[in-house]
């Protein structure tokens, strides 16, 4: 009877951990991606008013990228404490930090009111958002994965990944009614309301996260380390010493799914408006795509528990190489349904095939004692290079072409998909294996270090 109760309790904790991670990630990404919508539609007109429209858009997307450059810092800081004091405690801090930064963005004065101080404050708050999400992603992923059984890790993590598009849907649903206001009212106060709502969402997230227990894998790793006299080095140092190949493989593999996420949410949104679609139509099309992504991410994650991570991600990368061209052709039509189809191909098809699996794939590369630091650093470097820079690079390529011709942009995203495809093809599978509790350096045997290091890649 005791074993049955214990098993039931573990199952309840798993469901609670997945729910808390999903809800928390939804709220975090609501805040973070809401900024992407505002960067495309609002910030060029109120924070960069002294620049011409193209330069203002480039500057706005540059501040968008700043958040991604701050994410590795959040990964390093919160990854360290997540490996030392636990996943749960860190996730509470990241949620508070994100909520506060978002509310303050909603209260910012414009350039006309305070001059250069306005964009400076915007950049600083975007940095705080980046630091928060840099720590959030790793903890939420591990809270779900480390509560799940080996053959259920892909589905558990992909449910948390679905929090990203859920947050984006929530953000655009909240923002869209305000876009229907007269332009003057939308730019003066309408865009601010969705950011201020973050305060309520932050409170909801904190209430849910306080009910979750620490993960059993982390507790096992902590006890194993304690039995050996405690950890011998800082987690990040261990990652750089023994897991360099895992980090490099993960970064290369993350370029495509993370680039495609902001390709649709930021660049394609702005581009569709530039070629003639209305602002409201573009937001609705993006919302439909993100809504479908909520379901395709877990679907592909569950399939990866049966067939492996690599087949799913390779399929998504090759689809990106081929489908990037019809995506642009569809956007250039005047049809709303064609625009919806373009967004759907980009997000719930291409991005989801890779993104629904990628988080689990890199999590399985690291032992539990440094897993938070390892996956947070890997993901955030990939996110900075991929998601953070992609809208800026794509807009620059478009500007360099001197027209609305997107051929070079398509070549750019196709090349990124090829790079990630190579990383997937060369990476090993661990989707059906138990993962180690601690890293090999604790064994103090160079021969075994080398052998296990190769297995972990």
Dihedral class, residue 434 (left if φ above 0, else alpha if ψ from -120 to 50, else beta): beta
- Name the residue with higher pLDDT: 382 or 9: 382
pTM of the predicted protein model = 0.80
Residues 417-452 have pLDDT tens digits of: 999 999 999 988 887 777 766 665 544 433 443 444
Q: Give tens-digit pLDDT for 130-165.
A: 899 888 888 888 888 888 877 889 999 999 899 888
> Is the distance from CB of 357 to CB of 309 less than 8 angstroms?
yes
Helices 53-84 and 87-106: crossing angle, nearest 10°?
Answer: 160
Which residue in 264, 192, 222 sits closest to 46, CA to CA? 192
- Least confident interval from 85-94, 115-124, 221-230, 233-242: 221-230
In this predicted structure, what is the pLDDT of residue 337?
Answer: 96
The answer on pLDDT for 8 being more than 60 is: yes
26 pLDDT more than 90: no
At residue 231 the predicted structure's pLDDT band, cuts being 50, 70 and 90, is low
- When pLDDT is averaged across residues 97-123 and rounded to a whole number, the result is 91
pLDDT band at 4 (very low <50, low <70, confident <90, very high): very low
- Judged against a pLDDT cut of 80, whether residue 454 lies above it is answered with no
> How far, in Å, CA of 179 to CA of 194, rounded?
11
Q: What is the mean pLDDT of residues 80-107?
A: 89
**Does residue 453 carry a pLDDT above 70?**
no
Instruction: Provide the pLDDT for residue 341.
Output: 97
pLDDT exceeds cutoff 50 at 331: yes
pLDDT of the residue at 54: 79
Range in 218-222, 344-348, 400-404 with the lowest mean pLDDT: 400-404
Determine the Cα–Cα distance for residues 59 and 132; give it in Å rounded to an integer. Answer: 22
Domain boundaries, the chain: 9-456
For domain 9-456, the question of CATH label 3.10.20.90 is answered with: no
- Which pLDDT belongs to residue 247? 94
Question: Above 90 in pLDDT, residue 314?
Answer: yes
What pLDDT score was predicted for residue 79? Answer: 87
Q: What percentage of residues in the chain have a pLDDT greater than 70? A: 92
Per-residue pLDDT, 2: 39
Kindly state the percentage of the chain with pLDDT values over 90.
33
**Tokens standing for residue 369:** 């004692």
- At residue 233, φ and ψ (nearest 5 deg) are -155, 170
pLDDT at residue 31, rounded to an integer: 80
Ramachandran bin of 419, using left for φ above 0, alpha for ψ from -120 to 50, beta for the remaining angles:
alpha
Question: What are the tokens at 429?
Answer: 């599978």
Q: Does 187 score more than 80 pLDDT? A: yes
Per residue, the 3-state secondary structure of the chain, as one string, reads: CHHHHHHHHHHHHHHHHHHHHHHHHHHHHHHHHHHHHHHHHCHHHHCCCCCCHHHHHHHHHHHHHHHHHHHHHHHHHHHHHHHHCCHHHHHHHHHHHHHHHHHHHHCCCCHHHHCCHHHHHHHHHHHHHHHHHHHHHHHHHHHHHCCCCHHHHHHHHHHHHCHHHHHHHHHHHHHHHHHCCCHHHHHHHHCHHHHHCHHHHHHHHHHHHCCCCCCHHHHHHHHHHHHCCCCCCCHHHHHHHHCHHHHHHHHHHHHHHHHHHHHHHHHHHHHHHHCCCCHHHHHHHHHHHHHHHHHHHHHHHHHHHHHCHHHHHHHHHHHHHHHHHHHHHHHCCCCHHHHHHHHHHHHHHHHHHHHHHHHHHHHCCCCCCCHHHHHHHHHHHHHHHHHHCHHHHHHHHHHHHCCCCCHHHHHHHHHHHHHHHHHHHHCCCCCCCCCCCCCHHHHCCHHHHHHHHHHHC
Residue-wise pLDDT for 350-399, tens only, equals 999 999 999 999 999 998 888 988 998 898 889 888 987 888 898 889 88
| Banded model confidence at residue 3, pLDDT cuts 50, 70, 90 | very low
In the predicted structure, residue 344 carries a pLDDT above the cut 70: yes
What average pLDDT does this structure show over 182-191?
Answer: 89
């Amino acid at each position: 009877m005791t074993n049955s109760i214990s098993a039931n309790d573990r199952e309840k904790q798993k469901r609670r951990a997945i729910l808390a991670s999903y809800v928390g990630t939804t709220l975090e990404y609501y805040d973070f991606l809401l900024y992407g919508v505002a960067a495309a539609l609002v910030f060029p007109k109120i924070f960069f008013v002294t620049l011409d429209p193209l330069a203002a858009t480039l500057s706005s997307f540059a501040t968008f990228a700043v958040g991604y450059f701050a994410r590795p810092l959040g990964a390093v800081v919160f990854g360290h404490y997540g490996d030392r004091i636990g996943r749960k405690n860190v996730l509470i801090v990241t949620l508070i930090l994100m909520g506060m930064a978002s509310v303050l963005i909603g209260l910012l004065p414009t350039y006309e009111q305070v001059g250069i101080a306005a964009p400076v404050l915007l950049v600083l708050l975007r940095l705080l958002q980046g630091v928060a999400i840099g720590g959030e992603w790793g903890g939420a992923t591990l809270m779900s994965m480390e509560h799940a059984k080996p053959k259920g890790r892909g589905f558990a993590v992909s449910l948390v990944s679905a929090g990203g598009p859920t947050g984006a849907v929530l953000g655009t649903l909240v923002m869209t009614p305000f876009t229907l206001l007269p332009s003057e009212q939308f730019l003066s106060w309408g865009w601010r309301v969705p950011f201020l709502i973050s305060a309520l969402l932050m409170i909801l997230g904190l209430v849910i996260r306080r009910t979750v227990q620490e993960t059993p894998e982390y507790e096992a790793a902590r006890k194993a380390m304690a039995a050996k006299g405690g950890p011998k080095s800082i987690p990040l140092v261990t990652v750089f010493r023994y897991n360099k190949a895992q980090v490099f493989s993960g970064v290369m593999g993350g370029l495509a799914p993370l680039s495609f996420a902001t390709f649709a949410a930021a660049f394609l949104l702005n581009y569709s408006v530039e070629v003639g679609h209305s602002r409201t139509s573009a937001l609705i099309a993006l919302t439909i795509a993100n809504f479908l992504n909520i379901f395709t991410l877990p679907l592909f994650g569950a399939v990866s528990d049966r067939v492996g991570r690599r087949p799913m991600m390779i399929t998504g990368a090759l689809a990106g190489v081929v489908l990037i061209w019809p995506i642009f052709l569809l956007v250039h039509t005047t049809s709303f349904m064609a625009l919806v189809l373009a967004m759907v191909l980009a997000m719930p098809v291409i991005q989801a095939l890779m993104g629904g699996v990628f988080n689990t794939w890199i999590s399985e590369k690291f032992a539990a004692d440094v897993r938070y630091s390892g996956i947070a650093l890997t993901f955030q470097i990939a996110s900075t290079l991929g998601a953070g820079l992609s809208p800026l690079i794509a807009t620059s390529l478009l500007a360099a072409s001197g027209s609305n011709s997107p051929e070079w942009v398509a070549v750019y995203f196709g090349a990124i998909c090829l790079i990630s495809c190579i990383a997937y093809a060369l990476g090993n599978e661990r989707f059906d294996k138990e993962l180690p509790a601690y890293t090999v350096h604790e064994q103090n045997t160079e021969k075994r270090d080398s052998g296990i290091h190769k297995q972990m890649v």
